[in-house]
Structure 1
Amino acid sequence: MSLVTLLPFIVLIGAMFLMTRSAKKKQQQALDMRNQMQPGSGVRTIGGMYATVKEVNEDTVLLDAAPGVELVFAKNSIGAVLSDDEYNRIVHGIEHDLKNDADIVPDDASSLTESDDSAAGAPDDKPVDLGKKDQADEPADEPVAAEAKTDEEPKKTDGDTETK
């Protein structure tokens, strides 16, 4: 056999080797991730449900989905183990900012309310133009022109057309 006939087989075997190697690596990463689960950590199942791990057994995991709701899942059904910050952000909507842990509280309440001077300086008497016109503002000739304009446009039908 010549090298030209063996080359496609060699390339095919090399591709199969690379695919199985990457699949084994992904399986090992998933196994490590599932083994790092411990009670109290937040998880996402492969079905997209977020819960907190309550108990870890050999093949199953007891999840606390809501107060009083405990579910038993297979370990293989855990899609991701989430960090505490990520779990709180997704489930509770809590954004944890590491740069600014302290709340900013003003020294006095006057900075929280609008002062009387700035409120008196803003005239609220002027009407706001939203670009809409009232029916009473339009001249009587315009509805007739609008009807003539609609007659010129082709009308839609129920789908009955003569062209096929």
Structure 2
Amino acid sequence: MNIVTLLPFIVLIGAMFLMTRSAKKKQQAAAQMRNEMQPGTGVRTIGGMYATVKEVHDDTVLLEVAPGVHAVYAKNAIGAVLDDAEYNRIVHGEEAAAELDADTPVVPDDASSLTGPDDAPADDAPRIDLGKKPEADEPAADVEPKDKKSDEGDAK
């Protein structure tokens, strides 16, 4: 046999060996990452969901996907374990993560909590006349109520 005919097969076997070795290293690194998970860390599942680890078992992980909402996932479903800064940046946004770290005061969504009892108007404060006349409790005697049937009959 000629060496030229064997050369492509040798190259192919060598490439397969290198690819297999690299894939095994990635699998080992992922398994080590999953085994080092601790409760309280942020994770991303292989489906792209972000959650906080609550409990770690042999083959499963209890994740808190929202406050008070827990789900059991297989350990193999964890795609990445994130550090706290990255998890807060992704889940709460860059601005929210910066605000969590800063000592800036929190501004409420509405202004009702900004006013205190001293700011409330007094009951004996003078009223402003807006030109409206107070409506009487009873309808005026000179105005007759309209009858819908008579209006419709006139239109025909």
Shorter-normalised TM range: 0.5 to 0.7
* TM-score (structure 2 length as normaliser): 0.61
8 A contact 1:63–1:70 mirrored in 2: yes
| Counterpart in the other structure of 1:73 | 73
Matches within 5 A, 1:115-134: none
Structure 1 gaps of 5+ residues are 104-164
Pair 58,85 (structure 1): closer, same or farther in 2 beyond 3 Å = same
Cα distance in 1 for partners of 2:9, 2:98 equals: 54
| Counterpart in the other structure of 1:95 | 97
- State the number of aligned residues: 102
* TM-score (structure 1 length as normaliser): 0.58
Cα distance in 2 for partners of 1:52, 1:3 equals: 58
8 A contact 1:33–1:81 mirrored in 2: yes
**Alpha-carbon shift at residue 101 of structure 1 (Å):** 5.4
| Counterpart in the other structure of 2:144 | none
SS in structure 1 of the partner of residue 39 of structure 2: coil
Is 1:12 paired with 2:6? no
| Percent of pairs with identical residues | 75
Cα distance in 2 for partners of 1:101, 1:47 equals: 32
Cα distance in 2 for partners of 1:67, 1:9 equals: 57
**Alpha-carbon shift at residue 44 of structure 1 (Å):** 0.5
**Alpha-carbon shift at residue 34 of structure 1 (Å):** 0.7
Question: RMSD between aligned alpha carbons?
Answer: 1.9
Structure 2 gaps of 5+ residues are 105-156
Is 1:33 paired with 2:33? yes
Deviates more, 1:28-37 or 1:77-86: 28-37
Cα distance in 1 for partners of 2:103, 2:63 equals: 33
